[in-house]
Amino acid sequence: MTRNSPIAFLDLPRQQARLGDTIQRRVDAVMRHCRFVMGPEVEELEGRLAAYCGAAHAIGVSSGTDALLMVLMGEEIGPGDAVFLPAFTYTATAEVVLLLGATPVFVDVDPKTFQISPESLVSRIDAVLAQDDLEPRVVIGVDLFGQPAPWDQLRAIADRYGLTLVDDCAQSFGGSYHGRKLGREAMATTLSFFPSKPLGGYGDGGAILTDDPERAELYRSLRTHGEGRTRYEVLRIGINGRIDTLQAAVLLAKLDAFDDELARREAIACAYDAGLQPYVSIPARVPQSQSAWAIYCITLPDAATRDALQAHLREKGVPSAIYYPRPLHFQPAYRDQHDETVRLPVAESLGEHVLALPIHPELTDEEVQRVIDAVATCAALENGAA
């Protein structure tokens, strides 16, 4: 490693060097027993995931997107139903709503934490009720960037309006709220094991967590074509939504190292905070929480400064990314779903200010310092902190 070789945004080769042997042993066991679909590793992983966050049930599924889809199918969400979700999130959160023929209602986010705004949520629910053409059914809270959504407020609002709460925890498994691991804040919690998520596999995978035994049984049926007690009893319309045994095997090995990885991410975040504070706005913390640090997102005063910093970092071999350049209701796929006279001002402006820096357990202390030095030497920031 030379001093100026490019730093990776996600470093799977180094992860392989660190964990490859233990992962290989797990994979080899699957190669020997050959139960590639619903092999014993799936149930083992489900037990480990549930125990990790104290949920009663975990159901291993094919992806974070399919997890959300099946949870909404379980609530029989369809045409005429309104599903509320933040405008500042990944497309998967909203896509599943439209796949079922329901209507996504976009909600603004908090200007400091970027999490869904309870005030905006209330006003969006009231607006749907006043219009009287859609039935409010579900709120999907997204735990963005590793931090929890404001679950205390979301629960109070969901109770007041009789809505079902779903936690899209794709980015934040391992994070905690009021001292307890995320996974039990809503009726159902969905996880993603996409390689770049805090608990990343080597391909697609996901899980659903719930404390409700009936819903757990329902999700197990939905992930296998709606099957009943025997394979050829079809109770309902489901999907092929299972997690592969090989993926479960990889994740079991990765779970053993997960807490160490979370601690390393936290240490890097603290080093960034201390080193970057004089130059940029560092990430605001959600009160009473611990982040899983999927993403370390700084903010800059305007797009020109942000873009100049990004170019300067690139020159120094430091990768960065913009999550998310556009809110969902400005995307071609969703534009028709949103009344353009309704402004979501925070979500609409964040895309000009945000910049994500590399944060993963493979970063060395020297690389962390290189990232800090690269930001500190950016001429565009010379006028000091935002």
Ligand X SMILES: *Cc1c(COP(=O)(O)O)cnc(C)c1O
Tell me which residues touch ligand X (CB under 6 A). 63-65, 89-90, 92-93, 142, 168, 170-171, 192, 194, 204, 206
Which residues pair with residue 299 across a beta bridge?
281, 354
Give the helix ranges, DSSP H, for the chain.
Answer: 12-33, 40-53, 64-74, 92-99, 118-131, 151-161, 213-223, 245-256, 258-276, 303-315, 345-350, 365-376
Nearest to ligand X of 65, 189 (CB atom): 65
Nearest to 191 by CA among 60, 84, 295: 60
CB of 328 to ligand X, least distance (A): 11
Nearest to ligand X of 279, 296 (CB atom): 296
Which residues pair with residue 85 across a beta bridge?
106
CB of 204 to ligand X, least distance (A): 6
Nearest to ligand X of 23, 149 (CB atom): 149
Nearest to ligand X of 63, 305 (CB atom): 63
The two beta strands, 188-192 and 164-168, are parallel
Amino acid at 217: E
CB of 166 to ligand X, least distance (A): 11
Order of all β-strands in the sheet with 176-177: 180-181, 176-177, 289-290
Is-cis flag, bond preceding 219, omega within 30?
no
CA angle, corner 266, sides to 264 and 267, nearest 5?
A: 65
Nearest to ligand X of 167, 367 (CB atom): 167
Q: Give the gyration radius of the chain's Cα atoms.
A: 21
- Residue 241 CA to chain centroid, in angstroms? 19
- Residue 310 CA to chain centroid, in angstroms? 24
Cβ-contact 371, 358 below 8 angstroms? yes
Nearest to ligand X of 61, 262 (CB atom): 61
Nearest to ligand X of 52, 90 (CB atom): 90
Find the residue with minimal CB distance to ligand X.
64
What six digits make up the tokens of 365? 């202390």
**CA 105 to each of CA 97, 125, 203, 354, 364: distance values in angstroms, whole numbers, following the listed order:** 10, 9, 31, 24, 42
Nearest to ligand X of 65, 310 (CB atom): 65
CB of 251 to ligand X, least distance (A): 12
CB of 198 to ligand X, least distance (A): 11
CB of 76 to ligand X, least distance (A): 21
Nearest to ligand X of 64, 150 (CB atom): 64
CB of 73 to ligand X, least distance (A): 15
Cβ atoms within 10 A of the Cβ of 31, count? Answer: 11
The two beta strands, 354-357 and 296-299, are antiparallel
CB of 228 to ligand X, least distance (A): 27
Nearest to ligand X of 171, 305 (CB atom): 171
CA angle, corner 57, sides to 70 and 159, nearest 5?
A: 70
Contacts 24+ apart (CB under 8 A), 27-31: 27/246, 27/249, 27/250, 29/249, 30/245, 30/246, 30/249
